[in-house]
Amino acid sequence: MAKSTMNQSALYPGPNCVLKIPDPGITVGSAVKTAGIHYIDNRVMFCAGAIALWLGMLKGCSVEDGIPLRLLVKIFSWI
């Protein structure tokens, strides 16, 4: 078996398959779009995911994104 070359001091320790990285991005984008359709303000935050990874909040994950959510008050803006 090949020796692991994971760099533990890197922001996202690897190795991460470059073919698998876009899959979570597509999923996150769909979730953010669906939340936006339902008037939930949101952003995809790289730094929030990096901090969660650094704090060890999600064990076993190698790539994370944070999505803060806020319900908009302008639901009745048509009045």
| Residue 33 placed within a domain | no
Residue 62 maps to a domain:
yes
61 found inside a domain: yes
- Which has the minimum average pLDDT: 6-10, 16-20, 43-47? 6-10
pLDDT for the residue 33: 93
The band of 1, judged by pLDDT with boundaries at 50, 70 and 90, is: very low
- Tell me, rounded to whole angstroms, the distance of Cα 41 from its chain centroid: 16
Task: Band the pLDDT of 47: cuts 50, 70, 90.
Answer: confident
Residue 76 lies in a domain: no
Assess whether pLDDT exceeds 50 at residue 69.
Answer: yes
Domain residues for 61? Answer: 39-71
Is residue 10 assigned to a domain? no
Q: What is the pTM of this model?
A: 0.61
Residue 32 in any domain: the answer is: no
* Number of domains the chain contains: 1
Q: Kindly state the average pLDDT of the residues 29-54.
A: 88
